[in-house]
Chains A and B, each alone.
Chain A
Amino acid sequence: MTGIKLSGVTASFGGERVLGPLSLDIKPGERIALVGKSGAGKSTLIRMLYQQANSQASLIPQDLGLVHALPVFHNVYMARLDQHPNWYNIVTLMRPFERERADIEPLLDQLGILGKVRATVSSLSGGQRQRVAIARAIYRDATMLLADEPVSALDGPMAHVVMSLLNEAYETTVIALHDVELALRYCQRIVGIQDGQIALDEASSRLSETDILPLY
């Protein structure tokens, strides 16, 4: 398994440079937190990493990218559409098979939304939707996780549950977090982004909350 290496990349939006030039080397097994003000370029960086990783990464974008008209079960199942033939996906659309239910339902149970398995995403609250996107990312079973503020709509205890579940499912993670405490606790390496540049890159064991706050 390989990591991701960005060197000297830039990103522009509407003619204005929003990111870079920056270089970032992500090795297999690293757990990285991206921290920084909103608008600093974290989401753009995550998108670029996703493009670089091609099909090897599982992504949780900030706007979740769920299909609101489909039930929770199918939104999770969509993570593995590529692993089944068309007829199997079509039958699943009408009636899920036992095998996938046995995989997906315990996951939803851990996230506290098992009761919603048949409900459409449009009927869920913001926090519940976020947990559907998380279940999907875990079910994807890729080699790396890229997540953009995956716990922004969750309360304290649930945020901890989710962070441990994500760490359990993925060895290599890049997670944008605005919660500094969570970042220090669940990630080994903190990358601070400021005005599209890397302003901080340090092991979390050598950092405290007060070292990170100047970024905000």
Chain B
Amino acid sequence: MFSYPTVRTTFLFVAIAIIALAFSDIAITSINPWRDLGRFFLGVVTPDFFSTEGLATAILRTVAFAFTGVALGSMCGFLLALMYRWRIVRLFSAFIRAIHELFWALIFLQFFGFHPLTGVLAIAIPYSGIFAKVYSEILDEADPEPRTLLPTGTSAISMFLYARVPDVWDRIRTYTSYRLECGMRSSAILGFVGLPTIGFYLESSFSQGQYSEAGALLILFYVLIATIPWWVKPKLLPIYVVGAPFFLGEGLPIVWGNVARFFTEDIVPSPIRNNEGLGEFGAWLGDLMLTEAIPGIWNTVVLTQIALVFTGLLALLAFPLISTHFGGPVRRTSGHIFLVIARSTPEYILAYILLQLWGPSMLPAVVALALHNGGIIGHLIGRQSNNIKLRADAARGLNRYSYELVPRVYSSFLAFLFYRWEIIMRETAILGILGVATLGFYIDSAIQNIQFDRAMVLILITAMLNIGIDGLSRFIRRRLALQTMPTC
């Protein structure tokens, strides 16, 4: 069994996670966690859709920010994709996508304030980086033959529009509309830093203990995501994209003095700003590394590795729920509902809810990350398992699972899991804003203390960490010959 590289890799990562568990902080600290959980579920089953007039606005703003941000991101990403053969463009794209939407929002909030531009750019910038990469990969897959047949003298633009784009247009469209769904989730969680989307209303309902209101918001959000195929039609898309910017709300006006001050003063490391010399700067940086960066990196890595293994475990346990090789229609339908809820709830919202119920520790973060990411991978693997044709005398039950299905889907399972490794790390850092001591926690505290210079260094470190994990994940996937499609 250990002669398989995939198995050896699996055990290596499980071992790392067990060691990480020993160093982690897993506990339920709230006084009565189960009563709160019960009240929350009671709220979800007794949703109150009329408690606040803000509900409709929340949905409208969430959709408007998602459409505007994703449309802008996809346009910029397409332009970047055309220049993707240049190393500098690849590095730039990798950098902007390594910083999470919420961090971008926190940065823009400091100088644009609560202006709609903050939310739009927070989505558009990281999405541009992702679109650039995926679009360029898709464009590279266009059939080269038609291009060789064009008469010499055909201009590059005509060649591109006739012999390259049409061949991959369907894939570009499918991916973009998939990203729109991701954008809806990103837009929703931007509310947690104060933008007028669902997250904002969810946080205020929770903090007031209005669980029925929170339940209504969550249900509306699921309905919104689940009905995308019905209300997002190719023909309506231009109308949405043109109309969305008009529904972002007023926000607060931009104070341009703040913008200038942010770049010329706030983010300049304080020893340099105060002309204290390079020695002081070194001491400042050393202190930042020792007291914030290194503990932040350590906790981020520990939490990521634990969450990664639990994600895998959950995905392997969950995929039979929707596989046609097991159970009847009742079990599959409930499996589908469970996985839809798990994967459509942004991990940030899941973590927020669990943190409210169980108190601060790494546990809510691990459970949230595992539920969300495990839901996504479980869904993809389950669907893939339906394409497997079993012989008529194939084993049943546990034997069918372990002998027939898992060996066949294991490679693509690992491919998806390693693909999401970097995503899980990006999310782990972000969950720090909720109080888990990952990098996001130190970034958020620095911003609260108006130390933007420290925050910027920590955000840069977070981006480098993500780029590093992305590189490592690609290396492992290449070594194990794993291939996958992008997910978000």
A69 — which chain B residues lie within 8 A by C-beta?
166-167, 169-170
The CA of A67 and the CA of B161, in the complex, are separated in Å by 11
B154 — which chain A residues lie within 8 A by C-beta?
81-82
In the complex, identify which listed stretch (A36-44, A55-63, A178-186) lies at the interface while the others stay far away.
Answer: A55-63
Contact of A70 among B149, B153, B162 (CB under 8 A): B162
A140 — which chain B residues lie within 8 A by C-beta?
151
Q: Are B161 and A82 in contact (CB under 8 A)?
A: no
Q: Which of A62-80 contact B (CB under 8 A)?
A: 63, 65-70, 74, 78-80
| B264 CB-CB contact with A under 8 Å | no
| B152 CB-CB contact with A under 8 Å | yes
Q: List the B residue with the shortest CB-CB distance to A89.
A: B158
The CA of A92 and the CA of B169, in the complex, are separated in Å by 18
Contact of B149 among A61, A84, A86 (CB under 8 A): A61
B464 — which chain A residues lie within 8 A by C-beta?
none
Contact of B162 among A55, A59, A67, A68 (CB under 8 A): A67
Q: Are B158 and A81 in contact (CB under 8 A)?
A: yes
Q: Which of B148-190 contact A (CB under 8 A)?
A: 148-155, 157-159, 161-163, 166-167, 169-170
Q: Are A74 and B162 in contact (CB under 8 A)?
A: yes
Q: List the B residue with the shortest CB-CB distance to A68.
A: B167
The CA of A90 and the CA of B146, in the complex, are separated in Å by 18
Chain B facing A: main interface SS = helix
In the assembled complex, how far is the CB of residue A103 from the closest CB belonging to chain B, in whole angstroms?
A: 16
In the assembled complex, how far is the CB of residue A94 from the closest CB belonging to chain B, in whole angstroms?
A: 10
The CA of A59 and the CA of B148, in the complex, are separated in Å by 10
Q: Are B169 and A86 in contact (CB under 8 A)?
A: no
Q: List the B residue with the shortest CB-CB distance to A70.
A: B166
Q: Are B150 and A63 in contact (CB under 8 A)?
A: no
Q: Are A55 and B145 in contact (CB under 8 A)?
A: no
Q: Are B151 and A81 in contact (CB under 8 A)?
A: yes
Q: List the B residue with the shortest CB-CB distance to A88.
A: B158
A66 — which chain B residues lie within 8 A by C-beta?
146
A82 — which chain B residues lie within 8 A by C-beta?
150-155
With an 8 Å Cβ cutoff, the count of chain A residues facing the other chain is 25
Q: Are B151 and A67 in contact (CB under 8 A)?
A: no
The CA of A104 and the CA of B391, in the complex, are separated in Å by 53
In the assembled complex, how far is the CB of residue A65 from the closest CB belonging to chain B, in whole angstroms?
A: 4
In the assembled complex, how far is the CB of residue A168 from the closest CB belonging to chain B, in whole angstroms?
A: 21
What 1/0 mask marks residues of chain B from 259 to 276 whose CB sits below 8 Å from any chain A CB?
Answer: 000000000000000000
| A12 CB-CB contact with B under 8 Å | no
Contact of A65 with B145 at beta-carbon distance under 8 Å, contacts A55-B152, A82-B153 already known: yes
Contact of A65 with B149 at beta-carbon distance under 8 Å, contacts A74-B162, A78-B163, A81-B162 already known: yes
| A203 CB-CB contact with B under 8 Å | no
| A22 CB-CB contact with B under 8 Å | no
Q: Are B158 and A86 in contact (CB under 8 A)?
A: yes
In the assembled complex, how far is the CB of residue B143 from the closest CB belonging to chain A, in whole angstroms?
A: 8
A142 — which chain B residues lie within 8 A by C-beta?
151
Q: Are A54 and B152 in contact (CB under 8 A)?
A: yes
In the assembled complex, how far is the CB of residue B203 from the closest CB belonging to chain A, in whole angstroms?
A: 45
| A9 CB-CB contact with B under 8 Å | no
Query: Which of A54, A61, A78, A142 counts the most B-chain CB atoms under 10 A from its CB?
Result: A78
Q: Are B158 and A67 in contact (CB under 8 A)?
A: no
Contact of A90 among B159, B161, B167 (CB under 8 A): B161
Q: List the A residue with the shortest CB-CB distance to B168.
A: A69
| A213 CB-CB contact with B under 8 Å | no
The CA of A81 and the CA of B146, in the complex, are separated in Å by 12
In the assembled complex, how far is the CB of residue B234 from the closest CB belonging to chain A, in whole angstroms?
A: 14
Q: Which of B313-349 contact A (CB under 8 A)?
A: none
In the assembled complex, how far is the CB of residue A138 from the closest CB belonging to chain B, in whole angstroms?
A: 14
The CA of A66 and the CA of B154, in the complex, are separated in Å by 16
A93 — which chain B residues lie within 8 A by C-beta?
161-162
Contact of A78 among B152, B153, B157, B162 (CB under 8 A): B162
A90 — which chain B residues lie within 8 A by C-beta?
157-158, 161
7 A–B contacts, CB within 8 A, in A order: A61-B145, A65-B143, A65-B146, A65-B149, A68-B167, A69-B169, A82-B150
Chain B interface (Cβ within 8 Å of chain A)?
A: 143, 145-146, 148-155, 157-159, 161-163, 166-167, 169-170
- Pick the 5 closest A-B CB pairs, nearest first: A82-B153, A55-B152, A65-B145, A69-B166, A82-B151
